[in-house]
């Protein structure tokens, strides 16, 4: 008998706190989670495992970052309005993060007055922050709702196709089954091939465009950053067409 066992990450929600989101470029509510490494048998774990770290997930852009629970005065068990959450969890946030908040004000008001080096680092930063999410997504096979609908369509083809074939041409019943099967495989394969692109368009592109919008990056600046990240092997750069990214940045600026 083959037994599936090993170790897996186990997450436990601790509560909520206010903090700065480098992608939203402002203070946001976050969900805090404990990250443990626990043994599993058939992917079922017992306990929360050995502590390996904590993470905070922005409740606006849904991006996870490393976290230090000791940073907060208290952790709220429920998500309250942001002003209340700041008072409860991080009342000194404007003092602690004064320099970063001042930089964000400078970016909003006069982004072109930043030095070339500052702009390069600030433009590259959102790509690097989103890179782990992209790497994790493309490290294994994932299905979205469109793939699910395609599978249902393939099942319907296998059910309806042969019946129609038998009714129209009784002598070609076997061919009708093969054609229906082939069409179903093509349909599912087509949607699976587009699954990664949809992920980038829905979950990465809007967040990235929103983070880059205040900097108003030029095409040359974007090309430089993307070329550098491609050379370093980052999929987030390989999966993003620059023209589509620029269109999203322009659209978010007009929204």
What one-character-per-residue DSSP string does 3-16 give? --EEEEEEEEEEEE
CA distance 45 to 167: 52
139 pLDDT tier (thresholds 50, 70, 90): confident
Question: For all residues of the chain together, what is the average pLDDT?
Answer: 88
List C-alpha distances in Å: 218 to 44, 61, 190: 49, 24, 34
Domain chopping of the chain, boundaries: 5-109, 138-254
Least confident of 22-26, 49-53, 100-104: 49-53
pLDDT digits over 5-34, tens only?
667 788 899 999 999 999 999 999 999 999
Using the predicted structure, report yes or no on whether residue 162 has a pLDDT greater than 80: no
């Amino acid at each position: 008998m083959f037994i599936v066992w090993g170790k897996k990450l186990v997450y436990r929600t601790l509560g909520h706190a206010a903090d700065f989101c480098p992608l939203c470029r402002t203070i946001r509510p976050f969900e805090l989670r404990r990250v443990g490494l626990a043994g599993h048998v058939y992917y079922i774990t017992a306990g929360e495992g050995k502590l390996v770290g904590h993470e905070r997930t922005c409740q606006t852009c849904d991006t996870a970052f490393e976290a230090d629970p000791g940073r907060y005065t208290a952790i709220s068990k429920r998500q309250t309005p942001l002003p209340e959450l700041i008072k409860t969890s991080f009342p000194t946030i404007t003092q602690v993060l004064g320099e970063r908040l001042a930089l964000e004000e400078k970016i909003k008001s006069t982004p072109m007055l930043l030095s070339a080096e500052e702009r390069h680092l600030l433009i590259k930063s959102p790509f690097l922050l989103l890179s782990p999410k992209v790497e994790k997504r493309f490290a294994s096979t994932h299905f979205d709702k469109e793939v699910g609908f395609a599978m249902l369509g393939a099942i319907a083809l296998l059910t309806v196709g042969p019946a129609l074939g038998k009714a129209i041409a009784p002598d070609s019943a076997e061919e009708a089954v093969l054609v229906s099967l082939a069409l179903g495989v093509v349909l599912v394969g087509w949607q699976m091939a587009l699954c990664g692109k949809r992920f980038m368009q829905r979950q990465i592109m809007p967040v990235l465009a929103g983070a880059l919008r205040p900097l108003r990056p030029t095409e040359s600046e974007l090309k430089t950053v993307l070329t550098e990240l491609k050379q370093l092997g980052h999929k987030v750069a390989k999966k993003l067409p620059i023209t589509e990214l620029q269109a999203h940045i322009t659209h978010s600026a007009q929204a």
